[in-house]
Amino acid sequence: MKHVASSSLLSLSLSLTALLGGCLEPMADRPSLARRDVELRDRQAEAKAPPPPIESVTDPALARDLTALLARADKAEADFAMARSAAQQAVAAAKNASVGSEAWSVAQTRISALDAPRRELTQLLGDLEVLYVARLEKEAAGEIKAGGAAQVEQTRSHVLALVDSQDSVITMLKSGLAS
């Protein structure tokens, strides 16, 4: 029994030495866990900011595409605002309601109705990503004049801020219900 205990103790001490040795490696070789600039951006302010001016786009086809995409974003945001109002009222009515009650179910349904306009914006983000990559490829190949990709990126950032804002609203409404 004494031999087994000393063997286990030796094994444990070797394991601890190996683990502690890993802690002593230089930190420069590891990625930083500090917040990146993109994580520090104020998406709420970006969502409230007006979209980039389309008039500055020199390519008429790109200007037309961006105008259509921004119109879709505006409609999705307006639809979300209408559904948000109904969801806020339903959540307020279900404030002290128990899970599964009629008021709670109505509030859940109203919150779920927010997904449709939010989904439209996320699909729009995908369309903007495709447009951005295609634009970059054409600019790199010299097929078109440079500069349009930056306008697409500004539009994408605006729509992403709208999505983030909508996510915050949905999270807030869900937290207002009993679970």
pTM of the full structure: 0.69
- Confidence band of 177 (pLDDT split at 50, 70, 90): confident
Among residues 68, 166, 165, the alpha carbon closest in space to that of 116 is found at 166
Residue type, 9: L
The pLDDT of residue 147: 80
Q: Are 35 and 29 in contact (CB under 8 A)?
A: no
The pLDDT of residue 18: 61
List, in order of start, the domains of the chain with CATH numbers: 44-175 (1.20.58)
Q: Per-residue pLDDT tens for 66-110?
A: 999 999 999 999 999 999 999 999 999 998 888 889 999 999 999
Q: Are 179 and 94 in contact (CB under 8 A)?
A: no
The pLDDT of residue 12: 65
* Pairwise pLDDT comparison (41 vs 138), residue with the higher score: 138
Which of helix, strand or coil describes residue 142? coil
How far apart CA 86 and CA 116 sit, in angstroms, is: 14
How far apart CA 63 and CA 17 sit, in angstroms, is: 63
What does the pLDDT average to over 125-135? 93
Q: Per-residue pLDDT tens for 146-172?
A: 888 888 988 998 999 999 999 999 999
